[in-house]
């Protein structure tokens, strides 16, 4: 048993920062995200024997964090498809109409991400920021690969529109 505890401690050290980012991206409050990760780690420890190895261990852990965070939002009465809102940052567009990779544009993108629903924000974060494959994102979120592709396409279109609309207001 001691070896299992040591291995699990190493696992926590390696994955907990990413698990916290994932939870924070869904529940949006640090205290709630920390609670989600703690609950997810307890569930993972209790279910470690059920991991079959058909996906990466990180994918299995992310799935537990994802379902725990979504359950937390549902218990609080939050609409998982509601986009919420946030104020976008200042930005500039180059002469060709393309977004420059400036700090202001990165801030604008983060602001636009905040306006997506928790689920869409999570899909975009996992795929584009965490460099997870569509297969991994589908496994983590319990969706089909085709549904993930469709939702990612729509989320990117929404992000583009949010950033264009904000650029017109300036």
Contact 17, 59 (CB under 8 A): no
- What does the alpha-carbon distance between residue 114 and residue 162 come to, in Å, rounded to a whole number? 11
Domain boundary assignment for the chain = 1-78, 79-170
CATH number assigned to the domain covering 79-170: 1.10.10.10
**CA-to-CA distance for 80 and 64, rounded, in angstroms?**
17
Q: How far apart are the first and last CA of the chain?
A: 61
pLDDT value at 90 more than 60: no
Encode pLDDT of 150-167 as tens digits: 999 999 999 888 887 766
Confirm whether 1-78 and 79-170 share one CATH topology.
no
Does this model's pTM top 0.85? no
CATH 1.10.1740.10 assigned to domain 1-78? The reply is yes
């Amino acid at each position: 048993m001691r070896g299992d505890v040591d291995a699990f401690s190493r696992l926590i050290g390696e994955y907990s920062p990413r698990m916290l980012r994932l939870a924070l991206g869904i529940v949006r409050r640090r205290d709630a995200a920390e609670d989600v990760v703690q609950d997810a780690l307890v569930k993972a420890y209790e279910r470690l024997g059920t991991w079959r190895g058909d996906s990466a261990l990180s994918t299995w852990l992310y799935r537990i964090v994802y379902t725990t965070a979504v359950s937390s939002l549902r218990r609080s009465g939050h609409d998982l498809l509601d986009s919420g809102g946030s104020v976008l940052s200042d930005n500039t567009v180059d002469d060709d109409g393309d977004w420059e990779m400036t700090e202001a544009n990165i801030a604008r993108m983060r602001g636009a991400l905040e306006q997506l629903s928790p689920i869409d924000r999570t899909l975009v974060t996992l795929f584009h920021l965490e460099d997870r494959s569509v297969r991994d994102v589908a496994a983590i979120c319990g969706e089909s690969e085709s549904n993930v592709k469709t939702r990612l396409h729509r989320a990117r279109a929404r992000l583009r529109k949010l950033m264009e609309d904000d650029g017109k207001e300036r």
